[in-house]
Structure 1
Amino acid sequence: MANLVSTWSKITQTLPENYIFPVHQRPGSTHVPLCKNIPIIDLSKSQTQTVQQIGHACQEFGFFQVINHGVSEALIDDTMKVVQDFFNLPDDEKEKLFSIDPTNRRQFPTKSCKLFTSGSDYANEDVHYWRDNLRHPCHPLDEWAHSWPEKPAEYRDIVGKYSLEVRALSLRLLELIREGLGLKPGYFGEELTRGQLMSINHYPRCPDPTLTLGLRKHVDPNLITLLSQGSVYGLQVFKDGQWLGVEPMPHAFVVNIGFQLQIISNGKLKSAEHRAVTNSREDRTTIVSFINPCPDTVIEPAKSTLDTSIPLFKPFIYKDFLKTYEQNKGDIEAMMEVYKIKP
């Protein structure tokens, strides 16, 4: 258990060398302004208005926040509490799920419930992330819930209800995106949305947040991501050549457009580059739900999104893309080099 940051960071006063990022990647002491014009979309408004707002947000920002989304505030609060309680369990309880086997992580979504530390391949990383990460598949719920943590006792019940609600919201948002793109009804069916992975990030208080990261700059590899970031700031988005902070909104969800939606839309929608920073005052816990295609799904620009029938991206199989994603550490420019059709 010595690998878990949440265990040993409680007694350290200095940042270990293998958690210090290169100068060009670390956040440093430069002030990052809060983004004042992040789209906040009220899902209780008319569908026509909502489709237009989401379309603009996906094209301009690649992310937005949603309110009045139908997931109860009590359920969001209960879920945040139970996942925080998990990370406060005694070490021997967490040890039952702990793994440093990279093969478990590269199968995205993972095949079972695992607790990791740092990034995608701890044993071979030059620099580690200042985080611990619990992840597990959750759709269909009856196939996976039995493998989730047994403690806290209410974990499976609360997180199960939450995963169902968040999945339903994700599919609702995809339907609104589908309408905005002019795709045929049912386009985002089971093949593109079968996988759902819950990823719970725990970023302990850090002795020097200027030198390390909770997560480096990356885009999400999946279709669509819903993030509940609690009340502690730490999410930053890269837009127009600068980092901007995303201030937490109580009970809102941050919605990230995954790389697969950028491909399907033939570049009309953008996948937002983002990172997680740490702080020296308090722990931060976030709950992330990823919606993923089936591993053997072919991803390519949808025909109705093509201008003059010219696709910008090559077709690929999702499971093959994940290998490229890992190799390039989520760097969108590197992945564009692989998949963009060159003139």
Structure 2
Amino acid sequence: MEHLVSSWCNGRSLPESYILPPGKRPGKLTVPLANNIPVIDLGGHDQTDVINHGVPSNLMDEAMSVFKEFHALFAKDKAIETSKDPNKSCYFYTSSPNYATEKFHFWRDGLVHHCNPLEKYIQFWPERPPRYREVVGPYTAEVRKLGFRILEFTSQGLGISPDHFSSGLSENQTLLVNHYPPCPDPSLTLGVGKHRDPGGINILLQSDVYGLQVFKDEEWVGVEPIPYAFVINIGYPLQIISNGKLKGAEHRVVTNSNVARTIASLFFNPSSETLVEPAKALIDASNPALYKSLTYKDFLSKYIAASSDSKALEEVLSTTL
């Protein structure tokens, strides 16, 4: 816990261990803002920012408030609040879970805990701040409903069974709450490096502080926060299931020299032994499978081995390379 960025960053210069190699640094601090990310209105006639999604705005505000309150706790309190489960279904880290072995560090602290089934895991969630469980429980339940609506719409769009994602492919829901303190030199480090998410979809609640960038057409573009909208990120497993019709979004997080940024992501991941493979309805003689079939546990091991390098991962998982 003594390594937590939030514990020592005030008034400090950027430590050498946080200075990324030249090729991995943010480069231009000012990038064009994305003007073609679709804003999907689930309350309208059409079925990716999502608005009118059914999650109450006051619940979103309360959740963001308690997430910030948690990250404002003293390090020793955060350690106590995330060490209740010996199986580590709730834990806290800085930079990444591989802090001790990674070559360089990222400018973030992260809280992670499982959310499904709620009655099994909520007992291990933080009890401080005092409202954490009573707010985050309903929040994750509402976002869970939204996630299954989105996955059902995705199934319909792909032309596969509407309940394709209703069991093992999405039953492991995990909340990640990242905190990025003010950074002394945003040009030299990142909050999170370039990657595609290793889960199915990620429903992201941004604060009002900008930081998310997406790699599109060989350049980085910024994703401005829209009040009470969620950002939906497609992960690599969904790219496999769709047989390449959907692409995992490559993205990163830049830091800010003046203000802190807090975000909350609810990931819909397959269970460990669930097969991740192209949907059979999308495969025929004219459309062969582009990806190998493997358990999600095996996928994760290959994802970690590739160090989030999309090209390296593609080579390992593709049936055509």
The verdict on a shared fold, with TM-score over 0.5 as the criterion, is yes
1:27 and 2:26 equivalent? yes
User: Paired residue for 1:4?
Assistant: 4
Cα distance, 1:120 vs. partner? 3.2
Q: 1: CA distance between counterparts of 2:287 and 2:218? A: 31
Map 1:49-128 → 2, pairs under 5 A: 49-50=46-47, 64-97=48-81, 111-128=88-105
Shift of 1:303: 1.6
Equivalence map 1:143-292=2 (5 Å): 143-292=120-269
How far has the Cα of 1:216 moved from its partner? 0.2
Can you give the 5+ residue segments of structure 1 that lack an aligned partner in the other structure? Answer: 51-63, 105-109
Q: Secondary structure at the match of 1:261?
A: helix
Distance apart, 1:90 and its partner CA: 2.3
Pairwise CA distance, 1:111: 4.3
Matched-pair contact (CA < 8 Å) for 2:112–2:175: yes
**3-state SS in 2 of match to 1:190:** coil
Partner Cα separation in structure 2 for residue 306 and residue 240 of structure 1 = 28
Which of 124, 137, 144 is the matching residue for 2:114? 137
SS, match of residue 255 in structure 1: strand
Q: Which amino acid in the other structure matches residue 61 of structure 2?
A: D
8 A Cα contact 1:216 1:276, kept in partner: yes
Residues 170-225 of structure 1: per-residue CA shift (max 9 Å, x gap): 00000000001111232112111110000000000000000000000000011111
Worse overlay, 90-99 or 154-163: 90-99
Distance 2:30 2:262 in 1: 22
Inter-partner Cα distance in structure 1 for 2:258 and 2:80? 29
- Give the letter aligned to residue 49 of structure 2: Q
**Structure 2 residue runs without a partner (length 5+):** none
Aligned position for 1:40: 39
CA contact (8 A) 1:236 1:244 kept: yes
Instruction: Identify the structure with the greater helix proportion.
Output: 1
| Shift of residue 317, structure 1, vs aligned partner | 0.7
Structure 2 match to 1:293: 270
Q: Offset of 1:309 from its aligned partner? A: 4.2
In the alignment, the residues of structure 2 paired with residue 92 and residue 232 of structure 1 have an alpha-carbon distance, to the nearest angstrom, of 27
> 2-side partners of 1:148 and 1:30: how far apart?
36
For residues 82 and 147 of structure 2, the distance between their equivalents in structure 1, rounded to whole angstroms, comes to 29
Aligned length: 318
Q: Give the direction of change, closer, same or farther, for the CA distance of 1:179–1:10 in structure 2 (3 Å limit).
A: same
> Are the counterparts in 1 of residues 148 and 166 from structure 2 also a CA contact under 8 Å?
no
Identity %: 50
> How far has the Cα of 1:19 moved from its partner?
0.2
1:55 corresponding residue in structure 2: none
Is contact 2:155-2:164 (8 Å) kept? yes
TM-score of the pair, normalised by structure 1: 0.90
* Amino acid paired to 2:74: P
Distance 1:283 1:167 in 2: 27
Cα–Cα, structure 1 residues 77 and 86, in superposed 2: closer, same or farther, change >3 Å? same
CA contact 2:81–2:125 (8 Å) conserved in 1: no
